C-alpha cells in the first residue's frame, strides 16, 4: 500500500504518518524504486493501534510505551494496566478541573444581570476586582474555584 491507501484504511492522515515516522513512533516505511513509501498489513495494524490509543487521549509518549508493550510478547499485563491507570487518573484530574471551572462560570453567570447595566461580576472576576453583590448593595468577592490551570 502507498501512503494514501494506508492513510485511508487506518484513518491516520498521511501527514501524521510521516510525523510518526519522523519521531520514531513507527518504523520508516520501505521505499519503492521510485522512492514512494510502501506499507504492509503490519504497518496498517500499528497505525490502527496508534489511532485508537490517540482517540482514547493517550499522549504520543504514552502511545510509544503502549506500542513497546504491545510488541513485547513477554510483557506483563500489569505494566499495560499501570500505563492505562495513570492515564485514567490524569483524565479524572482534568475532569475535576473542568467541573470546577464550570461551577465557577455557572456561579458568575448566575450573578450577572445580563441587562443594560455596565457592572458585570464576570468581568470583575476576570479582572480580579471585587464583584458588586445584588447590583451594588454591597461589595462581595466572588470566590474563585482554584482552577487556574
Q: Residue 119: how many CB atoms within 10 A of its CB? A: 13
pLDDT of residue 149: 45
The pLDDT tens digits of the residues spanning 114-137 come to 999 999 999 999 999 875 555 444
CA 2 to mean position of chain CA atoms: 29
- The values of phi and psi at residue 138, to 5°, are 175, 160
Within 8 A by CB and 6+ apart from 7, the residues are 13, 14, 17
Which residue, among 7, 11, 51, 9, has the nearest Cα to 29 in the 3D structure? 7
pLDDT digits (tens, 9 = 90+) for 24-79: 999 999 999 999 999 999 999 999 999 999 999 999 999 999 999 999 999 999 99
Report whether pLDDT(104) > 60.
yes
Task: Give the N- to C-terminal CA distance of the chain in Å, as an integer.
Answer: 44
Name the nearest CA neighbour of 119 among 144, 147, 139, 148: 139
Domains, the chain, in order of start with CATH, read 1-58 (1.10.1660.10)
Q: Crossing angle of helices 14-22/41-55, nearest 10°? A: 90
Q: Where are the beta strands (DSSP E) in 24-72?
A: 30-31, 37-38
Amino acid at each position: 500500500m502507498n501512503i494514501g491507501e494506508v492513510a485511508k484504511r487506518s484513518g491516520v492522515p498521511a501527514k501524521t504518518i510521516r510525523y510518526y515516522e519522523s519521531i520514531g513512533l513507527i518504523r520508516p516505511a520501505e521505499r519503492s524504486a521510485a522512492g514512494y513509501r510502501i506499507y504492509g498489513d503490519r504497518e496498517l495494524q500499528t497505525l490502527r493501534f496508534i489511532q485508537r490509543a490517540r482517540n482514547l487521549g493517550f499522549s504520543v509518549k504514552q502511545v510509544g510505551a503502549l506500542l513497546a508493550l504491545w510488541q513485547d510478547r513477554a510483557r506483563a499485563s500489569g505494566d499495560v494496566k499501570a500505563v492505562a491507570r495513570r492515564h485514567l487518573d490524569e483524565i479524572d484530574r482534568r475532569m475535576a478541573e473542568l467541573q470546577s471551572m464550570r461551577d465557577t462560570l455557572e456561579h458568575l453567570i448566575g450573578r450577572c444581570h445580563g441587562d443594560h447595566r455596565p457592572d458585570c461580576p464576570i468581568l470583575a472576576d476576570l479582572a480580579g476586582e471585587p464583584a458588586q453583590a445584588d447590583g451594588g448593595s454591597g461589595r462581595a468577592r466572588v470566590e474563585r474555584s482554584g482552577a487556574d490551570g
